[in-house]
A and B are shown apart, each in its own frame.
Chain A
Amino acid sequence: MEIRQIATIAGKEFWDRLRNRWVLAVALVFTAFALVIAYFGAAQQGAVGFRSIEVTIASLVSLVIYLIPLIALMLGFDAIVGERERGSLDLLLALPITRFELLLGKYLGLAAALAFSTVVGFGLVALVLARQLDVGALFHYFGFMGSSVLLGMAFLSLAVMLSVFAADRTRASGLAIALWFFFVLVFDLLLLGALVLGGDGYGSEFYPYLLLANPADVFRILNIFSLDDVRTLYGLATVFPPALAQPWMLGGVMLGWIALPLVIAAWRFRK
C-alpha cells in the first residue's frame, strides 16, 4: 500500500469540496442550526435565550441525527459510481494505483471534508457560547462534536459502500435515501413495535443490543448517557443497560460501523 497515492486521491477530494464551497455551506448550516437551537430551543416553554448546555445538546442530538446521516450519504453516494458513470474510473485504474488505495483515498478525502465542516460549524458555536460554559459543559459539548464526526464517518462509509455496489448514480441516490429512511426513521419504529408486541416476554433483554445495529442509535446513546439531566428526557435511556453505555465501548461500535462497510466495499471493488 502506498500512502502517497492514497493522500493524492484524498487531497483532491478534500480540495474539491473546499473549492466548490461545500465545506463552507455545510459548516454554516451546522453553525446556524446550533445557534438557533441554543438560543431559541426553549421557545415552546415560553423562554428565549441560552438555558443549559445539556438541554442544548439534547436538542442538537435530535437534529444532528437526521441531518448528518443525510449529508454524509449525499456526499459519498457517487464516490465510485460517479467516476464509473462519467467514464473517468478506467483512466484512474490504469494508473499505478490499486483499487483499494483509490477507495480509501476517496473515503478519507470526503471524510476529512465532512469532519472539517462539522468541527468548524459546531466549533464556532462553542466559541460563541464559551463565556457561558464551564469546563464540564465544554467537555460535554466537545464530546457531542466528536460523536457527530463519528456519526458522519459511519454514514459516509455506508455511502461509499453503496457507491461501489450501485449500477448507476440514479440507483445509488435512491439507495442512499432508502438507507437514510431505514436507519433514521424506520429502524427505531420497528424496534419499538417489536418491543410493544413482545412485551416483557422471552428475549426482550436483547432489544438494547439491537440498538447497536444502528449507528444513529449508537450516536444517540453516546450523547444522552453522558448527561444526567437528559437521560430522563429519553424513554430509551431507561431500557438501556448502563453496562453497554460505556463511552469507549460505544465508540468502538461506531468505529466498527466505519470499518465494516469499507471492508465490504473494498472486497466488492477488488475486481
Chain B
Amino acid sequence: MPNASSGAGADPLATAAAEQHPGAQATEATEAAGTTDAVVTVRGVRKHYGAVHAVDGVDLDIRRGELFGLIGHNGAGKSTLFKMMLGLVPASAGEIRIGGVAVGGRDFRAARRAVGYLPENVVLYDNLTGLETLHFFARLKGAAAADCAPALERVGLAQAARRRVREYSKGMRQRLGFAQALLGKPRLLFLDEPTTGLDPEAIRDFYATLRELRAEGVTMVLTSHILAEIQERVDRLAIMAAGKVQALGTVQALRERMDLPLNIELRVAAVEIAAVRAALAGLPLLAVGDCEGGLALQCRRELKMAVLEALTMLAGRVSDIRVREPSLEDVFFGFAD
C-alpha cells in the first residue's frame, strides 16, 4: 500500500492549481507532468475481458483547465476508460497518468486527493442526512468539515441539509453527489452522465457551476448521452466506438473533418415553389427537396456564403431562410458507424 503524504508539495495536481496564480512556476509544473499541459495522459491503454476488447488501444491527452467530453454508444468503452482513469479498473495494457502520477502506482493516493468523481446514477447512504453524507466524504478526502455547508449551498441543497437522503428526489441526490465531488477543492473532476435526473433549470445551474470551476482552472472530464447538451459546452471531445477513440477535437474541427453539408430551409409560398426551383437551378447545390412550408437545400460548407448571397436575390419570393449547422449528433453517427 502506498504511504500517502498529504503535504501540498507532494500533491501532483496542486502544481496544476499553482499555475493558475500569478508568480507560480508553470514550467516546473508542466515538466513534472511529463507532457505539455496535460493533466491526464492515456497511452496505448487496453482492457480485455476474455475475448471482449472493451477498450482497444486508446491514446488521449486531457489538457489543464479544459472541459473535455467523452461520448459514445453504450458498450463503446467510455465507461471502462472512465473507470481506468479513476483507478477503479486496472488496464490490461498501457499506462494512464493523472498529474504525472501513474494510476494505481505509489503516489496515486496523493493524486486522488485532488480528484473529484461523480458516478453515473450516484448512490449515497439513505440513512444519513445531506450534511452527514458530506461530512463522511470530507473526512475520507481530508477536506475540512467546514467546507460541507458551502458545498451544499453551491448545489442548492442548503435547505435540505438536515433531511435524510431517503427523502431526496433523484435530482437532489444527483446534486448531493455533485457536492460530494466538489469537496476538497479538486483540480480534476470526473463527471459520468452528470445531468441525469436533473430538470432543465438544474442543468443550467449545473453548467454555470462548471463554468465557474473552469474559470478557477479546474480540469473536467464528462460523459453525456445528451449530445445537444454537451456540444455547446465542452472545449474538446472524444468520440468512442468499438473500444477506440474514433475522433478527437473541438466540435467545430470535427464538423469540418466530417465535411457534412449545410442544411438550408427556405420558406416559400406554394405558388412560388416552381419559380424558386427554377431560380435555384444554376446554384452549386447538393440536393433540393420539398419540405413543410417550402424547400430544403443542402450545400457544401465552403459554398455557404455564395449560396446565401444568391438566395438573397430571391427576397421577394422567399419569406425566410434558416441555416442549420450539422449537429454533433450528425458528426457522432458519422464517426460511430
Contacts and interface: CB of A to CB of B under 8 A. Distances in A.
Given A96-B109, A96-B140, A98-B2, 20 more contacts: A5-B140, A9-B140, A20-B127, A87-B119, A87-B123, A90-B88, A91-B117, A91-B122, A91-B123, A91-B180, A92-B140, A94-B87, A94-B112, A94-B119, A95-B137, A95-B140, A96-B113, A98-B1, A98-B109, A271-B90
Given A8-B136, A16-B127, A86-B123, A93 B88 contact: yes
B307 interface: no
Contacts of A87: 119, 121-123
B123 A19 contact: no
A96 B123 contact: no
Contacts, number: 62
Quick one: which of A4, A16, A95, A97 has the most chain B CB within 10 A? A95
B142 interface: yes
Interface of B: 1-4, 83, 86-88, 90, 109-110, 112-113, 115, 117, 119, 121-125, 127, 136-137, 139-142, 177, 180, 190
A95 B141 contact: yes
Contacts of A95: 112, 137, 140-141
Contacts of A98: 1-2, 109
Contacts of A92: 140
B121 A96 contact: no
A19 B125 CA distance: 13
Interface of A: 1-2, 4-5, 8-9, 12, 16, 19-20, 86-88, 90-98, 100-101, 271
Contact of A8 (B83, B123, B139, B190): B139
18 contacts: A1-B1, A2-B4, A16-B125, A87-B121, A88-B124, A88-B125, A90-B83, A90-B86, A91-B117, A91-B119, A91-B123, A92-B140, A94-B112, A94-B117, A95-B141, A96-B109, A98-B1, A271-B90
Nearest to A91: B119
A131 B281 CA distance: 111
B137 A94 contact: no
A93 B190 CA distance: 14
B109 A12 contact: no
A100 B122 contact: no
User: Which 8 interchain pairs have the tightest Cβ spacing?
Assistant: A87-B123, A94-B117, A96-B112, A88-B123, A8-B139, A95-B140, A94-B86, A96-B109
Contact of A19 (B86, B122, B127): B127
A93 B2 CA distance: 15
Contacts of A8: 136, 139-140
A88 B177 CA distance: 11
Nearest to A96: B112
A4 B137 CA distance: 12
Nearest to A95: B140
A4 B139 CA distance: 8
Contacts of A86: 123
A148 B141 CA distance: 36
A153 B227 CA distance: 52
Contacts of B109: 96, 98
Nearest to B192: A90
B1 A90 contact: no
A4 B6 CA distance: 12
A1 B4 CA distance: 8
A96 B4 CA distance: 9
A61 to B, nearest CB: 35
Given A1-B1, A12-B136, A90-B88, A96 B141 contact: yes
A75 to B, nearest CB: 16
Contacts of A97: 140
Contacts of B137: 95
Contacts of B86: 90, 94
Quick one: which of A19, A20, A91 has the most chain B CB within 10 A? A91
A87 B119 CA distance: 9
A90 to B, nearest CB: 5
Nearest to B137: A95
A106 B134 CA distance: 19
A23 to B, nearest CB: 14
A101 B4 CA distance: 13
Nearest to B184: A96
A2 to B, nearest CB: 6
Contacts of B190: 94
A155 to B, nearest CB: 25
Nearest to B1: A98
A86 to B, nearest CB: 5
B43 to A, nearest CB: 21
A222 B125 CA distance: 40
B118 to A, nearest CB: 8
